[in-house]
Copies of this chain bind each other. A is one copy, B any other.
């Protein structure tokens, strides 16, 4: 299967019950609803899935549910990166065996000062060599405090089993510069709705957008409008969604995203500690932001 990324993917939230357990039923309901949206596929176990708080058993269960529920023809991605190279390989191949199409591999980051270019190259090369499915590099400096530089990318983009990168740095000039330095077959997906529309003129074709959890069709519509030469309309829609995106990422994070999901007909559910639930004041502010954006 040759993977061509074109369109929008939600990095799916993981709904938790009040008692902290994963709410499988709510998760499945969300996937079913996303099946009826204009999405290119889904990502399970991304940052917005609170993956850092999941046990391996929970991770594998969520992968299974995703594979069994997601619509035919959707591209299925799973985040399988952990700190160690060997564990990442093990988990990636478990995901492959369960039916995932490509793995999203987070940069290791705990010993950030020693994650040199050479260390990152060794890590991703070993994983790509051993993985039964293609991998995508996952660059998210906001969480990892590491940025995949152009020198690393030049090397890794040559590996036949590394097919792209999800770049959540939100840095448009970096996206442009990276595109200049990788082969055309290497696909860059942006991971940040705040730059979704500005990167389209650069030739970017796919986005993994937290915002797509709650308004998947509108995220897809920005791209569709742009591709049909309706730049003005694309911009208007993008600017309208921008404050919502800011609220469900930077300001209120996953708790905010889940609350907005709840409001818009999805099942957000609880966050896991140490993340805190939203205050009533925050909820009110979020409802105001949704009303301003004409989503409520």
Contact = CB atoms under 8 A, between A and B. Distances in A.
B235 A111 contact: no
Nearest to A250: B113
A115 B53 CA distance: 14
Given A173-B170, A273-B126, A112 B180 contact: no
A180 B242 contact: yes
Contact of A52 (B111, B180, B203): B111
Given A53-B84, A85-B274, A273-B123, A172 B143 contact: no
A218 interface: no
A120 interface: yes
B111 A254 contact: yes
B198 A118 contact: no
A179 B176 CA distance: 22
A182 interface: no
Interface string A136-165: 000000110100000000000000000000
A9 interface: no
A272 B122 CA distance: 12
A253 B176 contact: no
A120 B197 CA distance: 31
Contacts of A142: 113
A201 B273 contact: no
Interface string A271-283: 0111110000000
Contact of A202 (B47, B86, B235, B275): B235
Interface in A104-123: 108, 110-116, 118-120, 122-123
Interface of A: 20, 47, 52-55, 83-87, 108, 110-116, 118-120, 122-123, 126, 142-143, 145, 170-173, 176-177, 179-180, 192, 194-195, 197-203, 229, 231, 234-235, 238-239, 242-243, 246, 250, 253-255, 272-276
Given A52-B108, A84-B272, A203-B235, 12 more contacts: A83-B274, A85-B273, A111-B143, A114-B253, A114-B275, A120-B274, A123-B274, A126-B273, A172-B195, A173-B242, A177-B243, A201-B231
